Structure 1
Amino acid sequence: MKDTVTQIPTYEDMLAAHERIKPYIHRTPVLTSSFLNDVTGAELFFKCENFQKAGAFKVRGASNAVFGLSDEMAARGVATHSSGNHALSLSYAAGRRGIPCHVVMPRTAPQAKKDAVRGYGGIITECEPSTTSREAVFAQVQAETGAEFVHPYNDPRVIAGQGTCSKELMEQTDGLDAVIAPIGGGGMVSGCCLTLSTLAPEVAIYAAEPEQADDAYRSFKAGHIIADDAPETIADGLKVPLKENTWHFVSNHVTDILTTSEQEIIDAMKLTWARMKIVMEASCAPPLAAILKNPDIFRGKRVGVIITGGNVDLDKLPWMRG
């Protein structure tokens, strides 16, 4: 599958995905923090995908793609390129179906994520930490294996699966005014757009992004995709650019994209660990960081905050540097 528009998933695709993946995912909890409500002046509802199977929301889209394959296609296995969470999620889903999973990962990806991929049976080929290298090495792996490409986010099956997260969030909360999620390639945000534009069109959708990897923000302001090849940020899961399928949703349904500094990301991550006693990775922290940075946007509102994953290298926590 090339990086072109193949099919924009529908709300019905998301509903079908939820039924398909239910045996393989957790219905993750929604947690609150009176402390963070007081600090932000908003009512925050944290959808905790850090408690998801494989430790990240990406198992939703990966499972939908894997279990939607025909037996003939599945026999050849699946393949992808990913900095971590999609890689281990696809490895998890492929393992559940008993088929091979080939993964191209940057050599700089967190060791914890590489270990998890191998633990789920994934076969890793390493590449340099750039989009150019990732896609070139992947093309070689796919040519050698003939496996079905499941793109980390620019895939309608994946977007439909990610949309099940905000469906659950709406079922678990009442009367949200807004939902905010991190944005890298845009799979989770696209899933939110897919679901909420039909289920709750009155809910504003915000995306949060590192200042040092702000290509989605610049794309949003410019009105067309701007792709950075190898941005540097502590939020390793947010280094990838938007693609055509995710841009469709972002450009049509997102209210705004908010950016945060590296220190704001680290501070928000640490605050969540300290106050909510939950493990989340740096890539999940921009939404809370953006709420803290922009209190006037969110004050007095009921806001769903999607914590996208909890796969952290515990020996390299960002506040331990130096």
Structure 2
Amino acid sequence: MAFPVNRPRRLRKNENLRRLVREARLSVDDLVYPVFVTHGRGVARPVESMPGICNYSIDRLLEELEEVAALNIPAVLPFGVPEAKDELGSGAYAEDGIIQQAVRAIKEAYPGLLVITDICLCEYTSHGHCGVVENGQVLNDPTLDLLARTAVSHARAGADMVAPSDMMDGRVGAIRRALDENGFADVPIMAYSAKYASAFYGPFREAAGSAPQFGDRKAYQMDPANSDEALREVWLDIEEGADIVMVKPALAYMDVIRRVKDDYGYPVAAYNVSGEYSMVKAAAQRGWVDEQRIVMEILTGLKRAGADIIITYHAKDAARWLREGRQ
């Protein structure tokens, strides 16, 4: 056997060499921190299935965001947990809704922090679905007006970006038109373009109280078996005016992230969702995994797959570890 001329290990023998040739680089600039906000004062109610995550009242959320701002995390993604729900999810687009109140408070306290708002009805509907329901069916077109109203109300409250997550056909175009017509042409849209009907959302549904009261969301969220369909969904959202496209969940869909990035070259967000977070936390609490190493490996893997933006409940920990130079 010929003596090897090519020895890849030459470039691995110490940390400085590894740094020089590192391909994917994770930065605090990549991170978005999702938070849950509810009514009341002095509320910091732990989410049992998401260790370290709470439902916050606005006053306590502002305290939580002090650390987020200090860590230089560029953006937050608040989800509302309303006091009351109805068939049409009116709390989503109410001018005094919980998200509208939270956005105003965040922008007043932390004007430099980007606030991205989720545009969906599921947290606000009594049936838990993402649109108008009639005779047990989620209706696409009647839902679009409500989503557009929600987006405009968020922009009016001061949201820097809106993120429709409902997976209704045509919602990006409807929201873009409504924003433009109401003087918010500069508000970008980050579309949940390839959002799968996933089992990884369970802890989020506990936190937001958004589980469907009948059936499931397979008739409008994507089949986990499909990736060609994801490219079609992304293309449609881009055609309708999306500025950023998203793949959700992240871990089981790295191939989709890569395909979207390669095919379109658009900014791509990956949502490292609640179930992915909770699995790591649970295993770490049992001493089965090294939490820091596995989190940083996952987030770096998402960057390697092509994600430009990573929405993750690990954002604060990751930002601290990056600041300390621990990767």
- Structure number with greater CO (CA < 8 Å, separation at least 6) is 1
| TM-score for the superposition, normalised by structure 1 | 0.31
Q: TM-score, normalised by structure 2?
A: 0.30
| Higher helix residue share | 1
User: Looking at CA atoms only, which structure, 1 or 2, has the larger radius of gyration?
Assistant: 2
